[in-house]
A = this chain, B = another copy of it.
Amino acid sequence: MEDLLEFLNGIYPFPLGLKDELTPMIKSLRLSEKEYLLRAGDVCKNIYFIRKGLLRCYYLKETKEVSAWFLKEVDTIVSVESFYDQLPSYEFIQALEDCELFYISFDELEEIYGKYLEFNVIGRKLTTHYLKMWTRQLRYLRSMSALERYQELLAKEPELLLRVPLKLLASYLDMEPETLSRMRGLGN
């Protein structure tokens, strides 16, 4: 857990008392490959920090699974629309590898935000990081060709090509598995 505390403290230095108050709030959890962290319809009650492993957020388009995100070590993971308003989720979150996670509940996070203004700097910066990621993803989907999206993935997140099954990666890139397979074969 020390590495998570260091990571957060590195974003903005903890004031006196925060570490002692936060430590007992942080719980840990292990997930096996294919296990679910959240299912659509359930409320996402915790914010998770990925210590090890890779998870996928997806939703259903009719009966087809559409991968929205792949998140891995050092990422924070929540179902955004569910967690922040404590409403039922539209998304599933599933482990694609054996995972080790830390988490804090919504209520305890709110308590920390209320007691320690400094933690709001950390929250603001992490939220901004994901806002930038989401903005980039929207731009990729809206303005790029399939080939350009593949090339961006190669440049920005090449390890996903090794860690994520091709079929799941194809839906993330909004293309057919055959298209992705062909691009990989061409060595683009």
Q: Which residues on A are within 8 Å of B, measured CB to CB?
A: 59-61, 66, 68, 80-81, 84-85, 90-91, 113, 117-118, 120-121, 123-124, 127-128, 130-132, 134-139, 141-144, 174
Known: A68-B139, A81-B135, A117-B118. 19 other contacts (CB 8 A): A60-B143, A61-B142, A68-B142, A80-B131, A81-B136, A85-B132, A90-B139, A91-B139, A113-B121, A117-B121, A120-B121, A120-B123, A120-B124, A123-B124, A124-B127, A131-B134, A134-B138, A138-B138, A142-B174
CA distance A75 to B137 in the complex (A): 22
A-B contact pairs, 13 of them (CB 8 A): A59-B139, A60-B143, A61-B142, A66-B142, A80-B135, A81-B135, A81-B139, A90-B139, A117-B117, A124-B127, A127-B127, A134-B138, A137-B138
Q: Give the shortest distance, in Å, between A27 (CB) and chain B (any CB).
A: 23
CA distance A80 to B121 in the complex (A): 18
Q: Which residues of B contact A138 (CB under 8 A)?
A: 68, 134, 137-138, 141
